[in-house]
């Protein structure tokens, strides 16, 4: 089953005055590219968040925004030792370099290490204070991921149906080219015979020699191998579409190979019908590439 890389989901969880809200947006990317946004004082939660995300998403750019509102009166603490250190450092710099100015409360609150969660030590939160909040965050992230996966799956089903239409169109076009190919031999023979007759109007044409020249031209313009490989690529493509593993990169590779086969067919054959069908094949393949680039 195909899974799209485009998705959106939200999740939330609350307990004991703490409220966690999570918003996730995903778009296409060659690899899994996780970007987590959360307040600096909760940065210790990032590894747990990413671990949960990786368990559900395997490819795509993921923007994961976590908002935490901790309503507990003791939820926030000020590291007074750190405040003292900043103030003393600022005074020392001012005296040493004769710089006027002072640290106000707003500036201090924006400096690293000043604001901490309740129960934090100077080096970070204790396990007792981190555990419950981490559990809330993980639960909210999982809820958002469920929405994202559901949307990506539905989008993948739509892409699957659209791809099937283009694959069928390519099969029909390939079959039309295969039926038109024998006409190329007759066309070469007639053109060569007519050209030779114009150049050597008073000379009798050797049918055997003419047949040999036609055979050489036909051999150079033979597209049977390209058509066979094109059929093989289509079979592989259809098989991958039913796979339960990420197949986006493999689909994209197969489409590159299909495009190469069609280009070779167009370069070998000068038949107008084959050219028309070849151009239509290229258009269908390009549509498939647009879809495949958004498949996980």
Name 68's bridge partners.
Answer: 20
pLDDT of 126 higher than 50: no
The pLDDT tens digits for 209-229 are: 666 666 666 666 788 899 999
Comparing 119 with 281, the larger pLDDT belongs to 281
Q: Is the model's pLDDT at 74 over the cut of 50?
A: no
Say yes or no to pLDDT of 255 above 90: yes
Question: Which candidate, 205, 173, 203, 179, places its Cα nearest to that of 192?
Answer: 205
Query: Tens of pLDDT along 129-188?
Result: 567 889 999 999 999 999 999 999 999 999 999 999 999 999 999 999 999 887 766 666
Q: In the chain, what percentage of residues exceed pLDDT 70?
A: 80
H/E segment holding residue 76: strand 76-78
* Cβ(258)–Cβ(230) below 8 Å: yes
- pLDDT at position 271 over 70: yes
Mean pLDDT lowest among 49-58, 84-93, 216-225, 273-282: 216-225
Quickly name the fold that domain 7-72+124-153 has: Ribosomal Protein S5; domain 2 (3.30.230)
Q: What DSSP string runs through 238-281? A: HHHHT-SS--HHHHHHHHHHHHHHHHHHHHH---HHHHHHHHHH
Residue 21 has what pLDDT?
A: 96
Statement: the pTM of the whole predicted model exceeds 0.95: no
The domain limits of the chain are 7-72+124-153, 80-113, 154-292
Higher confidence at residue 279 or residue 132? 279
Q: What is the pLDDT of residue 197?
A: 61
Res. 63: pLDDT tops 80: yes
């Amino acid at each position: 089953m195909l899974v799209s890389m485009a998705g959106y989901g939200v999740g939330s969880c609350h307990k004991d005055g703490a409220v966690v809200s999570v918003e996730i947006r995903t778009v296409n990317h060659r690899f899994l590219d996780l970007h987590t946004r959360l307040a600096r004082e909760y940065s210790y939660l990032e590894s747990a968040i990413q671990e949960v995300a990786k368990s559900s998403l395997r490819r795509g750019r993921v923007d994961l925004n976590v908002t935490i509102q901790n309503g507990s009166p003791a939820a926030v603490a000020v590291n007074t030792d750190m405040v003292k250190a900043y103030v003393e450092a600022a005074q020392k710099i001012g005296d040493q370099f004769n710089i006027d100015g002072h640290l106000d409360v707003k500036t201090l609150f924006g400096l690293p290490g000043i604001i901490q969660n309740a129960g934090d030590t100077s080096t970070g939160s204790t396990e007792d204070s981190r555990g419950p909040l981490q559990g809330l965050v993980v639960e909210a992230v999982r809820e958002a991921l469920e929405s994202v996966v559901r949307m990506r799956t539905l989008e993948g089903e739509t892409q699957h149906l659209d791809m099937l239409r283009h694959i069928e169109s390519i099969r029909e076009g390939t079959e039309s080219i295969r039926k038109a190919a024998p006409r190329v031999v007759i066309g070469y023979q007639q053109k060569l015979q007519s050209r030779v007759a114009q150049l050597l109007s008073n000379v009798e044409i050797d049918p055997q020699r003419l047949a040999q020249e036609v055979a050489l031209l036909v051999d150079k313009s033979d597209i049977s191998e390209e058509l066979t490989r094109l059929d093989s690529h289509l079979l592989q493509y259809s098989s991958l579409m039913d796979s339960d593993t990420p197949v986006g990169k493999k689909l994209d590779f197969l489409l590159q190979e299909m495009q190469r086969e069609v280009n070779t067919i167009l370069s070998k054959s000068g038949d107008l019908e084959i050219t028309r069908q070849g151009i239509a094949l290229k258009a269908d393949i390009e549509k498939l590439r647009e879809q495949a680039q958004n498949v996980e």
